[in-house]
Amino acid sequence: MTNAIIDLTHLVKKFGKQTVLKDINLQVMSGEIVGLIGPSGAGKSTVIKTALGMELADGGSATVFGKVMPNRQLLARIGYMAQTDALYETLSGRENLKFYAQMKGIHKSEISDSISHVADVVNLADDLDKRVSGYSGGMMRRLSLAIALLGNPELLILDEPTVGIDPALRRQIWKELNAIRDEERSILITTHVMDEAELCDKVALLLGGKVIAFDEPVVLKMQYKVDSIEEVFLKAEGEFK
Ligand SMILES: Nc1ncnc2c1ncn2[C@@H]1O[C@H](COP(=O)(O)OP(=O)(O)OP(=O)(O)O)[C@@H](O)[C@H]1O
């Protein structure tokens, strides 16, 4: 029994004959930002989907808040941003946010403030009344992130949240993620941006279906005797091949 918010133990996931996750061990604790990195196709999204019960595990165990997912009661405590946007394109940004706020059970009196806050975080306040069909790809990502942030969930699971987002806004978003962590809430984030991996409290490196390294960025850099997480990544990948 651990106090982990996300606890993945010897997790296995297969798609047909392909074993994508061979033995995944990963814990996300309260008040922690954990970054999941790995080459394209390594299985980062699969880790997330299996943890959330959107994919059925073939072995091992995955719990979130100590429960096997999916679990309807837990959904309001989790903000999930998938790699593909689940948006209603004929509706405006505000209408999308309102819909998801209601789905999450946010109290009627708090919906409007909640929407203003998350829209500010992702710089969408001026575009909220435009139809989503007219949004750029980056704007859609930002709206998806805003939806995940609604209702101050205790756990955020973000699959490549900053793709297509410019550096200034990326910095603003990270400020918010740090504030969330400082409130003892937890974040699991996948990223291709190595600068972002440096900002995580811990980084998990996914290679060959396993988490081959999992520690604070500073410790990983020491272990691999390099100066950046990018070099850790390249060195680990080189050693693996
Ligand atoms: N539903 C599915 N059916 C069959 N194969 C799948 C399915 N989902 C994922 N895969 C396969 O599992 C592997 C891992 O995919 P996944 O999307 O988890 O990787 P990823 O690390 O998130 O990649 P990226 O960084 O490119 O998003 C890939 O080979 C992919 O083709």
Q: Where exactly are the structural domains of the chain?
A: 6-240
Taking the centre of ligand 1 as the mean of its atom positions, its distance from the CA of residue 59, in whole angstroms, is 18
Place of tokens 């061990």: 25
Question: Which atom in ligand 1 lies closest to the alpha carbon of residue 46?
Answer: 18
Question: Which atom in ligand 1 lies closest to the alpha carbon of residue 83?
Answer: 27
Mean pLDDT per segment of 10 residues, for the chain of length 241 residues?
89 97 97 95 96 95 94 90 93 97 93 96 96 95 96 96 89 94 97 91 96 96 95 88 70
Taking the centre of ligand 1 as the mean of its atom positions, its distance from the CA of residue 203, in whole angstroms, is 20
Query: What pLDDT is recorded for position 76?
Result: 85
Question: Which atom in ligand 1 lies closest to the alpha carbon of residue 42?
Answer: 21
| Through-space distance between the first and last CA atoms of the chain, rounded to whole angstroms | 35
Place of tokens 């209601």: 102
Classify domain 6-240 at the CATH superfamily level: P-loop containing nucleotide triphosphate hydrolases (3.40.50.300)
- Structure ipTM: 0.97
Among 11, 12, 37, 45, which is best to mutate for testing ligand 1, by the most ligand atoms less than 8 A from CB? 45
pTM score, whole prediction: 0.95
Question: Which atom in ligand 1 lies closest to the alpha carbon of residue 16?
Answer: 4
Query: What pLDDT is recorded for position 192?
Result: 85
